[in-house]
Amino acid sequence: MGSFANSLHVRSDDAEAVVEEIREILKNRGYQASRDTSKLDSEDIDPTVRALHVAEARDGWVGVLDNDLMGLLTLAQDLSSRLQTHALCVMVNDSDSWHYELFHKGREVDGFDSPGSSPLLDLNELPEDMLELPNAEELAEAMEAVMDQMPALAELLQSLLPSEMREIHQKITDGTATPEEAGQFSEWSRQLASGVAAEFGDATKKPAESDLPVAATDSSGNGRAASRKELEGHLHHLRPLLATGVRPERVREILAEKATFAEEPMADFLETLGVSRFYAQLSFQYLAGFNREDIEDEGIGFREPLIFVKV
């Protein structure tokens, strides 16, 4: 099983300002701050809990690890808007490919998929009526079709399931789910699909009026090396963020690289921006696998965790 490392990086020298904005954003979404760290003790955090690790500012960036992968992009966009700055989300997909989304002042300005990447799901291969399934047997068959495409998706799906849906998912897998439970799971799946579409947008549509370089509207991966035009588009947005002494040619090399382990070029990419390359191994879930000294040796100092509960 490969890595699904992911993190958010806000262009700022003030970690406290980032923390305060996170508090306001989640308060506006119906969350209440909590000091109950016991909520983080279990391997599967309750779905009503939102938890984040925020690092002290380093070289103009504040790193954030979020237990809600689906909410990471929305948080990045909101922070970039409220702080009128850049926010960058980076993600690894099963160690096979890596991805970034860049926001500036609340606007998504650039996105990248590494060469050799493929869609998380090939929707053309799924049953057409997957989200309108009448019974548990057909739902189980549809889920099996998904898992046959990419076994690693099973782990990702499990990480997204609320606890009650996880129980129904197991029943569906065992073939013991009732029609009511199958319908409940199908409805939840529809809601999840709608949420994903809202987060990521429709990749087949391009803005009717846009003066942004092609990189901002077309990913340059998806199984092929980035073209020169696309690389220049990415560099248009990345140049102001490059660390001192980093030459654009180095960024071009990284974005065009097809590596065995996607964490390696993503670490190189982060380093060109002045962000610790160690983030290519981190996510909220993975952080527990490292001790405090390991993290501090990499120049990363996390503050006390932020914990919020849905009310």
Q: How far apart are the first and last CA of the chain?
A: 36
Instruction: Give the single-character DSSP code of 288.
Output: G
Coil, strand or helix at 196: helix
Point out the least confidently predicted range of 59-63, 97-101, 207-211, 285-289.
207-211
Helices (H), 201-298: 228-238, 248-255, 263-272, 292-297
Q: How do strand 97-104 and strand 107-113 relate by DSSP bridges?
A: antiparallel
Percent of the chain with pLDDT over 70: 70
Helices (H), 126-262: 136-149, 152-160, 163-174, 179-200, 228-238, 248-255
* pLDDT at residue 277 in the model: 97
Q: What tens digit of pLDDT does each residue of 80-102 get?
A: 999 999 999 999 999 999 999 99
Q: What tens digit of pLDDT does each residue of 1-17 get?
A: 689 999 999 999 999 99
Residue 288's nearest CA partner among 28, 42, 100 is: 42
Coil, strand or helix at 58: strand
